[in-house]
Amino acid sequence: MTSTELTATDAPVRIPGPTTPYQGDIARYWDGEARPVNLRLGDVDGLYHHHYGIGEVDRTALGDPEDSESEKKLIAELHRLESAQADCLLGHLGDIGSDDTLVDAGCGRGGSMVMAHQRFGCKVEGVTLSAKQAEFANRRAQELRIQDHVRARVCNMLATPFETGQAAASWNNESSMYVDLQDLFAEHSRVLKVGGRYVTITGCWNPRYGQPSKWVSQINAHFECNIHSRREYLRAMADNRLVPQAVVDLTRDTLPYWELRATSSLVTGIEEAFINSYKDGSFQYLLIAADRV
Ligand SMILES: C[S@@+](CC[C@H](N)C(=O)[O-])C[C@H]1O[C@@H](n2cnc3c(N)ncnc32)[C@H](O)[C@@H]1O
Ligand SMILES: CC(C)=CCC/C(C)=C/COP(=O)(O)OP(=O)(O)O
Ligand SMILES: [Mg+2]
């Protein structure tokens, strides 16, 4: 399946959309996604994320649990922690100028793209399998009047329309568990300029545990994804000219988010699997920043 779009010169460009039955399932999954835990958090300030949070909970911001505004405050706090996660990722992209182009592989509803543009003033190109998500992200960019800098397209991140060496930096924010890592890093390596920076924040299973735990299997089933091991990330990067510059274990930093979320009315049922697997050491929340050499 492909979608067609017109360039400025009106020459049609074929953009590969879902190319496997699995990718078709993932496109449908995100087209149909409307969980309050994502939409109500996004409504706080118009940044819509599909990733999790990091950092300490600000108990003063939560106030008295008996207070009629307590649910609203809890939602705002969860959202603050999710935006802190995106800030952490963007902080590892290096020196980005306003003339640079960044690539968000698996951009969701575009929250990280907006934050990247607001931080660097640069262009940000995102791809997602979901037409609904791309429309949502582009609508938000229009509302913010940044549509000439921030754009989402329906496209497979393993075969993007970007030119070789076009991007100063690229990232996957909780989107690499849907693809083969060798194929993924080959494409980032192609699109990045030499000296460019790649960053991922991801959940991965811990080779020290042995094999994926039952909690990891539960997370895979819940999201129809395929969580990779830490070892696979490092090996596939090494095979594709991506040399780790920083590997940051964010597991301890994400637990407060999960423990707070588990107390909210917006629980989805997956909280226990994340909390237990982070605590038993079978699963890790990692940031890896790598140089394209
Ligand atoms: C959990 S969401 C993360 C969204 C976003 N990175 C964020 O932080 O809000 C996963 C995203 O990966 C995208 N995705 C999964 N497989 C993909 C593929 N092969 N090509 C493009 N996008 C893909 C989905 O469409 C979805 O937007
Ligand atoms: C760390 C791992 C393994 C992530 C898997 C990918 C994923 C579904 C991320 C969150 O999306 P979301 O924000 O739509 O999920 P939720 O509805 O649970 O908040
Ligand atoms: Mg979410």
Rounded to an integer, the average pLDDT of 88-115 is 98
Please give the distance, rounded to the nearest whole angstrom, from the Cα atom of residue 179 to the centre of ligand 1. 10
Please give the distance, rounded to the nearest whole angstrom, from the Cα atom of residue 35 to the centre of ligand 3. 8
Residue nearest to atom 14 of ligand 1 (CA): 106
| Ligand 2 contact via 50 beta carbon (within 6 Å) | yes
- CA dist 233 and 142 (Å) reads 35
pLDDT for 138-167, tens place per residue? 999 999 999 999 999 999 999 999 999 999
- Please tell me whether the overall predicted TM-score, pTM, comes out greater than 0.80 for this model: yes
Please give the distance, rounded to the nearest whole angstrom, from the Cα atom of residue 99 to the centre of ligand 3. 31
Q: Which residues pair with 169 in a beta bridge?
A: 102, 197
Q: What is the pLDDT of residue 12?
A: 46
Domain ranges of the chain: 22-292
Ligand 1 probe mutation, 127, 129, 199, most atoms within 8 A of CB: 129
Question: Is the per-residue pLDDT at 13 higher than 90?
Answer: no
State the complex-level ipTM: 0.99
pLDDT for 217-269, tens place per residue? 999 999 999 999 999 999 999 999 999 999 999 999 999 999 999 999 999 99
| Helix segments in the chain, DSSP class H | 21-31, 36-42, 59-62, 70-90, 111-120, 131-143, 181-191, 214-223, 230-239, 251-261, 271-280
Rounded to an integer, the average pLDDT of 36-51 is 98
Q: What is the pLDDT of residue 5?
A: 43
pLDDT for 161-184, tens place per residue? 999 999 999 999 999 999 999 999
| Ligand 2 contact via 219 beta carbon (within 6 Å) | yes
Question: Is the per-residue pLDDT at 14 higher than 70?
Answer: no
Candidates 3.90.226.30, 3.40.50.150, 3.30.450.40, 3.20.20.80; CATH matching 22-292: 3.40.50.150
Nearest ligand for residue 34 CA = 2
Ion ligand 3: residues, CB within 5 A, are 38
